Amino acid sequence: MRILAIHAHPDDVEILAGGSLALLARVGVSLTVCTMTPGDCGSAEMGPEDIAAVRRMEAATAAAMLGADSICGEFRDMAIFNDDAGRRRVTQILREARPDIVITANHPDYHCDHEATHALVRDACFGASAPNYDRGAHAPLDKIPHLYFMDSTDGIDRDGQILRPEFLVDVAEVIDMKRALVGCHESQRNWLRKQHGIDDYVEKSIQWTANRGKLAGLAFAEGFRQYHGHPYPQSPLLQEIFEELTTLAAL
């Protein structure tokens, strides 16, 4: 079983799904974590290439902690667009990683890169299995992968309304691992203090995980929903894996 977790920036995957990936890593699935950009705008002190180099390392450290492969799509911050070139690039990423399950960004979300990633990955999952689409370095996928979306940042839409996931994964057992995974992104503590007024980067993400759990009476949880568009696979493949590992609460 191969699973690709792909989101816009280094740290998005760990904040939104780090606990769930820590659980999946226990059962010997092959995990790949892909960030669309190397986070080149995530600093007020360092230039884009310098901070990108730091953040590629931080992403690789977090992935190594999970036993996952780490790749970067090398888009640039604020420059991920749902266009022809972007869709082709993401298609090649999918064909290289060859996942059975893809977990990506939700829509709506506060950041343009998150929403563009959502659309690109959704559509590239379809394109990657079409033999005549973007005949490039990697062979087409045999079938469209099962597609899932993580929670949006803070679990809310652009109007502050709470978004309810389709199901919640109980991550209480691995909450310390999640803390460690988010903590790998050390460069972001300073940046977020300055730019977003967020003082405790790691504990904020843990607090959010606790808030998500409250939707189903769990101490800590992360939410997901499956993409139900025709003709994507509809069987609950990811849910079945989680059910073997932890409590899964349908909402």
Structure tokens that stand for 67 in this block: 């036993």
36 contributes a contact to Zn ion by CB under 5 A? no
Nearer to Zn ion, 12 or 100 (CB): 12
Determine the interface stretch with Zn ion among 11-19, 22-30, 90-98, 177-185 (rule: CB under 5 A): 11-19
Whether the CB-CB separation of 204 and 193 falls below 8 Å is answered with no
Q: Secondary structure of the chain: what % helix, strand, coil (to 5)?
A: 45, 15, 40
Q: Cβ 114 to Zn ion, closest distance in Å?
A: 6
By beta-carbon proximity to Zn ion, the closer residue of 80 and 216 is: 80
What backbone phi and psi angles, to 5 degrees, belong to 132? -90, -5
Nearer to Zn ion, 103 or 141 (CB): 103
Least distance between Zn ion and beta carbon 171 (Å): 20
Contact between 12 and Zn ion per CB under 5 A: yes
Listed residue (151, 147, 75, 76) closest to 108, CA to CA: 151
Sign of CA dihedral 185, 189, 194, 199: positive
Residue 115 in contact with Zn ion, rule: CB under 5 A: no
Nearer to Zn ion, 8 or 101 (CB): 8
Nearest CB to Zn ion, comparing residues 16 and 218: 16
**Residues 3, 4, 5, 8: which binds Zn ion (CB under 5 A)?**
8
- Residue 9 lies near Zn ion (rule: CB under 5 A): yes
Considering the rule CB under 5 A, would residue 109 count as an interface residue with Zn ion? no
Task: Quote the CA–CA distance of 225 and 179 in Å, as a whole number.
Answer: 23
| Contact between 105 and Zn ion per CB under 5 A | no
In this structure, the number of other CB atoms found within 10 A of the CB of residue 36 comes to 31
Q: Tell me the residue type at 240.
A: E
Question: Under the rule (CB under 5 A), what is the footprint of Zn ion?
Answer: 8-9, 12
